[in-house]
A and B are shown apart, each in its own frame.
Chain A
Amino acid sequence: DIQMTQSPSSLSASVGDRVTITCRASQSIRSDLSWYQQRPGTAPKLLIFSASSLQSGVPSRFSGSGSGTDFTLTISSLQPEDFATYYCQQSYTNPETFGQGTRVEIK
């Protein structure tokens, strides 16, 4: 199985900060990577697919980049509703695997 490793596992940031989360795959996954946001007690929400495509309805402060093994999710100006856990997920091969998550907390 392809291992997905996110860093950091958690971070503290303030409203308005620029936040970057990285995701590394154990082998090349081309651009077959998605990012999800999960607020406590709720289902995950798709933010980014195909590494850099913004899902419909998602604010433009979210962006994704990368290909091969290294990927990045960036939030350009953190908003109060962005405090959540973020997961990357590869869809290159079965079984599709997720990163362990990055918890974004209020500083």
Chain B
Amino acid sequence: EVQLVESGGGLVQPGGSLRLSCAVSGFTFRNYWMYWVRQAPGEGLVWVSRINPDGSYTNYADSVKGRFTISRDNAKNTLYLQMNSLRAEDTAVYYCAKDLALSDNGAEFDYWGQGTLVTVSS
């Protein structure tokens, strides 16, 4: 059974940092592109970042570029999102998601984690 389990969310002050983790099981993690998608309270879905299977390529939404860093540890089957210089507008549930296609950047998200809430407030 495919599982993605996020952790690391919480309350942080503006300007602070958090690192989210997404532990996966049930598939060969090192073969898939992975993503972070966020959803502000009561709002829609927004793509945040992607990373290729070996971690050599990353890509970000303009709204987080220069502040967030996506990474992965294929030996630990874990995806990360390091979030620095957090702003109130970063408040959201953050989901990790798996690409449908093996070794391809199709950006069709077939499995999602349960989400972890990040609240940026003083």
Q: A94-B107, A100-B44 are in contact. List 9 more A-B contacts (CB 8 A).
A: A43-B112, A43-B113, A44-B109, A55-B110, A94-B50, A95-B47, A95-B62, A96-B47, A101-B44
Residues of B participating in the A interface, judged by any CB pair closer than 8 Å: 44-47, 50, 59, 61-62, 95, 100, 106-110, 112-115
Docked complex Cα distance between A3 and B98 (Å)? 23
Q: Does B44 lie within 8 Å of A98, measured CB to CB?
A: yes
B45, A44: Cβ atoms closer than 8 Å: yes
In the assembly, what is the distance between CA of A36 and CA of B47, in Å? 14
Contact B106 A91 (CB under 8 A): yes
Asked if B108 and A49 sit within 8 Å, CB to CB, the answer is: yes
Count how many pairs of residues, one from A and one from B, have CB atoms less than 8 Å apart in the complex.
51
Q: Is the CB of B115 within 8 A of A49?
A: no
Give the interface of A toward B (CB within 8 A): 34, 36, 38, 42-46, 49-50, 55, 87, 89, 91, 94-101
Do A87 and B45 touch (CB < 8 A)?
yes
Q: Which of A34, A49, A96 has the most CB of B within 10 A?
A: A96
Which residue of the partner chain, among B44, B59, B108, contacts A46 with CB atoms under 8 Å?
A: B108
Q: Please, how many angstroms separate the alpha-carbon atoms of A38 and B112 in the complex?
A: 11
